[in-house]
A and B are shown apart, each in its own frame.
Chain A
């Protein structure tokens, strides 16, 4: 039980919980206690310190803005103006958009979840109402009526995840085969190298515009979710380079010993590629894919923001434009959600990478 859970933790890349598991099993208490303090308690302390620093800093910034408002009020209308201004600030009528404090971010997060519950309740009620009509419409060959209300925060997270996975698979299916072909043929490699070198550093924003130009013309008569198509293609194209370059490198630099084995065994070309070259390139390919997932998630926010696909990027941008009292707090809450999901995605790829990577004998 103990060893099993430790192995699982190691496999998913959360090995810092190892001493806690060992301690729970009552093993080598003194040593594991120091390990636990080192690996778990210290990070917690540093998180608390970070929150404290954030809290103090946020207060300070809030006060700067508040003092400035009061000062402006004093200049324009004296003591009475200050009193009204203070009242307006108190009631939230006069907005102070400074860095939100940790507490307000937590509140904003709770509100977002509560909001999600309300919206999903509305949505299911709506779907129930139109269920019968939809059946009729289906029989008539018409499109079903869908809920067109505002998406909740959780809906937006799901949209973002869908986009990032669609983009990732696009990158996978483009970059791995192309990388393999390039890795196998030196002529091809040198003839398209300029293309890779030029397109690799292009910014996500420009990729988005390029994809937009092309997809827009191709989807003039399509009435589906074009913004989703544009954003996932842009994400895929932005993120595929790490995998492309790594696959090319992995395939072109197969250990000479393995090639000799293939020759001595008289393997056919196909077998050589699929039984020797590809497996030996797996470690590099999966390292590339892990980078691709991170990059995809990173550029996703910027691309969604531009494409207006209803994901987290759009959420952040709309909240910023909105400028309500709790907008900044919502943005920071979204920031932590984005960071957290990015971390989880990376751990996921880490596990896949470990699974697919052999240890050199």
Chain B
């Protein structure tokens, strides 16, 4: 049984003429302990996919199954790392993480909860900033807190919605490693949504492109046959990596072109002349 399974999932927003089917016929199986990356263009419905799996939204057709049971709402078992960090600006790092820990481990003593918070914050190297408010942190630090918040609840699945796309390349690299090291410790199931093919290959076991929406569907999967732990600098010279990267990019470029040609409908403009209300200027131009 797959850990997470999506069967013929269709999701639309709006009603009547404005109804837009964002996702159409999505089928996906994620096994326990797998790291899946979904790459796609922006606006192709990637965030909607995460919301469906996390239980923040529900499909119009088809089902989202978690351990064989339909998803009925958000659960502690599926931690979400949001793209825009979504830290509560009035709480310190400790309290932002603490809110999640207290919620998950309700019967724990204060000391135990405190220790867990400090442990997890230390893991992402933010012990010095534990009593700071999010506004005093840089983007990378904030995302680290967001990662910590999701992981401190000890979820079985980590859902990541473009967690690193707002960060600079260097911070991105460090955080990728941090997420990987945490993931590899107890091999949780992970789903990463990204727009960066390299990031996908570096981190995931399988890469699945999402064809651009509306009516986005999943493309053919690419299996990443690279030994873990992976080394970034070595990867750049690895033939396997190069090949995989090229084939994924080619595929993406191809579906991008297809989409462009699909929308190449020609529109004939009505044969109208604009009515100019400024007769004064016309008069001036005509020398009247």
Binding site for B on A (CB under 8 A): 257-258, 260-261, 263-267, 271, 275-276, 279-280, 282, 358-361
Which among A257, A267, A361 has the highest number of chain B CB atoms within 10 Å?
A: A361
Closest Cβ of chain B to A354, distance in Å, is 13
A261 touches B90 (CB 8 A): no
Closest Cβ of chain A to B64, distance in Å, is 15
Contact with A along B87-118 (1 / 0, CB 8 A): 11111000000011001000000000000000
Given A275-B99, A360-B135, 17 new contacts (CB under 8 A) = A257-B84, A257-B86, A258-B86, A260-B86, A261-B82, A261-B86, A263-B73, A265-B76, A265-B153, A266-B74, A266-B103, A279-B88, A282-B90, A358-B133, A358-B135, A360-B89, A361-B142
- The A-B contact count (CB < 8 A) is 57
Contacts of B87 in A (CB 8 A): 361
A267 touches B103 (CB 8 A): yes
A260 and B82 contact, Cβ closer than 8 Å, known pairs A266-B74, A282-B90, A358-B89: yes
Interface size class of B (residues with CB under 8 A): 20 to 34
Closest Cβ of chain A to B138, distance in Å, is 11
Closest Cβ of chain A to B52, distance in Å, is 13
Contact with A along B68-88 (1 / 0, CB 8 A): 000001111001101011111
Contacts of A263 in B (CB 8 A): 55-56, 73-74
Q: Which 4 A-B pairs have the closest CB atoms?
A: A361-B134, A358-B90, A257-B86, A361-B89
B103 touches A265 (CB 8 A): yes
B6-63 interface with A by 8 A CB criterion: 54-56
B88 touches A260 (CB 8 A): no
- The contact of B135 among A257, A267, A275, A359, by CB within 8 Å, is A359
B100 touches A265 (CB 8 A): yes
Contacts of B142 in A (CB 8 A): 361
* Assembled-state Cα–Cα distance A276/B82 (Å): 17
Closest Cβ of chain A to B96, distance in Å, is 9
Residue in B closest to A282 when the chains form the complex, CB atoms? B90
Binding site for A on B (CB under 8 A): 54-56, 73-76, 79-80, 82, 84-91, 99-100, 103, 133-135, 137, 142, 153
- The contact of A361 among B55, B74, B85, B100, by CB within 8 Å, is B85
Closest Cβ of chain B to A147, distance in Å, is 49
A359 touches B86 (CB 8 A): no
Contacts of B74 in A (CB 8 A): 263-264, 266
A361 touches B56 (CB 8 A): no
Contacts of A265 in B (CB 8 A): 76, 99-100, 103, 153
Contacts of A267 in B (CB 8 A): 103
Residue in B closest to A356 when the chains form the complex, CB atoms? B90
Contacts of B133 in A (CB 8 A): 358-359, 361
Residue in B closest to A276 when the chains form the complex, CB atoms? B88
Closest Cβ of chain B to A292, distance in Å, is 22
* Assembled-state Cα–Cα distance A360/B142 (Å): 13
Closest Cβ of chain A to B185, distance in Å, is 22
Contacts of A275 in B (CB 8 A): 99
* Assembled-state Cα–Cα distance A121/B142 (Å): 63
Residue in A closest to B86 when the chains form the complex, CB atoms? A257
Contacts of A279 in B (CB 8 A): 88, 90-91
A264 touches B135 (CB 8 A): no
B134 touches A264 (CB 8 A): no
Name 7 interchain pairs, CB-CB below 8 A, sorted by A.
Answer: A261-B82, A261-B86, A263-B55, A263-B56, A264-B79, A279-B90, A359-B133
Contacts of A359 in B (CB 8 A): 89, 133, 135
Closest Cβ of chain B to A265, distance in Å, is 5
